[in-house]
Structure 1
Amino acid sequence: MADKKYIRVVGAVIVNSDDEILCAQRPEDKNLALKWEFPGGKVETGETETEALVRELEEEMECRIDVLDKITTTTYEYDFGIVELTTYYAELLAGEIKLLEHVDMKWMSRENIGDLDWAPADIPAIEMIQTQKGAIK
């Protein structure tokens, strides 16, 4: 059996002024169809994690963010590959969020964020976010 592809990805945990967190739903035609995730994407060769996160949010949602504190890095093995996900708190700076990649988005309270059907790699970060009060500025 061939080695699985190793995919480094980053996710933005964007917290608004009401302490709600942006959750984005994946499209039907991609891996993890209709699962919820923190917006972000693959880290390209030569890019830092924060550069990748800023670029991905610009590409997928046409918004600018400021990347804040790192939350965690988790690794999860899917059938299509091994995903290493690093999540960061982020602040929305400019731009109205447009769904260019995702099929839906919701602002959810920390308490209720776990109610969605999340991609497995995101779940450890969700558990940490729920125990931390307030965005880290």
Structure 2
Amino acid sequence: MTDKKYIRVVGAVIVNSDDEILCAQRPEGKNLALKWEFPGGKIEKGETETEALLRELDEEMECRIDVLDKITTTVYEYDFGIVELTTYYAKILSGEIKMLEHVDMKWMNRENIGALDWAPADIPAIELIQNYKGAIK
């Protein structure tokens, strides 16, 4: 049994018109410094996963997204707590993406995203994304 904090978070797997996926790098000085992740964040009390994702993307990148199909939910135990990450496909509706929370970001083909140094909770979603053969709409 652990006394670690349980943290529920959501991540957006944003796909552009070239079928590339947005990858974002965490800042130095925070948990998982310089690891890559899907943008998103903590689910606040009383929020749905979709509401949290819409709010977080507005706060972190000043863009509006359309939340599409759920990819997966994974649970990973870090030294700072237990993270439950739910990822969704998403597309940008409006706004130019700004890096307000991240130190770097890049659009990558889904076949190549595994080459980055990802936060462990994101890795199961990456494997599903790489094996997904359909069009993301």
TM-score (norm 2): 0.97
User: Is 1:76 aligned to residue 79 of structure 2?
Assistant: no
Matching of residues 54-69 of structure 1 within 5 Å: 54-69=54-69
More off after superposition, 71-80 vs 2-11: 2-11
The equivalent residue for 1:110 is 110
Aligned residue type for 2:47: E
Identity of aligned residues (%): 88
SS of alignment partner, residue 66 of structure 2: strand
More off after superposition, 125-134 vs 63-72: 125-134
- Kept after mapping to 1: 8 A contact 2:15/2:136: no
Provide the C-alpha distance between the structure 1 equivalents of 2:134 and 2:5, rounded to a whole number of angstroms: 36
Provide the C-alpha distance between the structure 1 equivalents of 2:135 and 2:101, rounded to a whole number of angstroms: 25
TM-score (norm 1): 0.97
- Kept after mapping to 1: 8 A contact 2:23/2:105: yes
Can you give the 5+ residue segments of structure 1 that lack an aligned partner in the other structure? none
Number of matched pairs:
137
- Kept after mapping to 2: 8 A contact 1:66/1:90: yes
Cα-to-partner distance string for 1:51-70 (whole Å, 9 max, x where unaligned): 00000000000000000000
The equivalent residue for 2:51 is 51
Provide the C-alpha distance between the structure 1 equivalents of 2:89 and 2:10, rounded to a whole number of angstroms: 11
Provide the C-alpha distance between the structure 1 equivalents of 2:18 and 2:8, rounded to a whole number of angstroms: 31
The equivalent residue for 2:19 is 19
Change (3 A) 1:129 1:2: closer
User: Is 1:28 aligned to residue 28 of structure 2?
Assistant: yes
Coordinate RMSD, CA, aligned: 1.1
Show structure 1 runs of 4+ deviating over 6 A: none
Cα-to-partner distance string for 1:4-51 (whole Å, 9 max, x where unaligned): 000000000000011000000000010000000000000000000000
